[in-house]
Amino acid sequence: MKKGWIVLGVVVLGVLLAYGWVKGTYNGLVAAEEQVSKAWADVESTYQRRADLIPNLVETVKGYASHEKEVLTGVTEARARVGQITVRADQLTPEAIRRFQDAQQGLSGALSRLLAVAERYPDLKASQNFLGLQTQLEGTENRINVARNRFNEAARAYNTRIRSFPANFFARAFGFGPKPYFEADKGAEQAPRVKF
């Protein structure tokens, strides 16, 4: 009889240890996936900050350079395209991130053209409103880079976790798939040419 209780105790202890191990592994995977989702939300929030600055920037430029209609319209249309692209954290795929990144790159190009237009208007360049918006935009571009780097780090940690033994068995069993990374924009590997 004593032997039976010992065997039962060992079996119960083994089941509890296995349960704790599976639970800990699963919860660790969930926590890593949630970190990726949070990092993605931070990326979207930072890009949204940039999008929110654009109408004020366009209005400021419009006041000084109203005949630059093509550039102003281009920025407005690029901002609208960005607003149409939404990528939920649970639907992150390389294609979805590429579409998001392409739209953002289009907006960046339009903003560059807008800032180039501003160079032709000394009164605009001296405007405190314009200078303040330009400073905020520069700061936001830095924040975008930081948010993208943090997203990539969270995706790397998550991807490493779901591929590591023995968590990889649970990741497959519970449907945890790899998360894509932000990659450099096309042509970013070549340094820009500067001519004086």
* pLDDT tens string 144-161: 999 999 999 999 999 999
What percentage of the chain reaches a pLDDT higher than 90? 41
Q: How far is CA 145 from CA 3, 74, 152, 173, in A?
A: 64, 24, 11, 34
Q: What is the distance between the alpha carbons of residues 182 and 82, in angstroms, rounded to a whole number?
A: 16
Start-to-end CA span in the chain (Å): 94
How many other β-carbons are positioned within 10 Å of the β-carbon of residue 1? 5
**Furthest-apart CA pair in the chain: how many Å?**
97
Does the pLDDT of residue 34 top 80, yes or no?
A: yes
Closest CA to 153 of 63, 49, 43, 55: 43
Buried b (16+ CB within 10 A) or exposed e, 10-20: eeeeeeeeeee
Domains detected in the chain? 2-174 (1.20.1440.20)
Write the pLDDT tens digit of every residue in 95-132: 999 999 999 999 999 998 888 888 888 888 788 888 88
**pLDDT score, position 187:** 58
Q: Residue 178 — φ and ψ, nearest 5°?
A: -65, 155
